[in-house]
């Protein structure tokens, strides 16, 4: 579902440290930028502590979120 134009919005990315997630998120960002070159991005990366929450680091900073989550 498209929520509206992304122009001028900030997109947050959560890097969960899974193998190949950085190139994957890079491709997603490039795809979004190819259609919306003026977006801003903010990325947070989990550390080795699996129970540490990081999504709150994006609270109030982003309009949309891409979460690379899964195995």
| Cβ-based neighbours of 34, under 8 Å, separated by 6 or more | none
Residue 1 has pLDDT above 50, yes or no: no
Predicted pLDDT of residue 10:
95
On the question of pLDDT at 3 being above 70, the answer is no
Global confidence as pTM: 0.78
Q: What pLDDT digit, counting tens, does each position of 6-61 carry?
A: 888 999 998 888 888 889 999 999 999 998 889 999 999 887 666 567 878 888 99
Q: Half-sphere exposure of 56 toward its Cβ, with a 13 Å CA cutoff? A: 2
Q: What is the pLDDT of residue 9?
A: 93
């Amino acid at each position: 579902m498209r929520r509206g134009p992304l122009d001028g919005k900030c997109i947050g990315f959560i890097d969960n440290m899974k193998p190949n997630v950085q190139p994957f998120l890079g491709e997603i960002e490039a795809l979004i930028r190819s259609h919306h070159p003026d977006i801003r991005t903010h990325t947070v990366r989990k550390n080795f502590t699996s129970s540490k929450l990081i999504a709150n680091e994006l609270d109030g900073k982003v309009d949309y979120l891409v979460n690379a989550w899964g195995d």
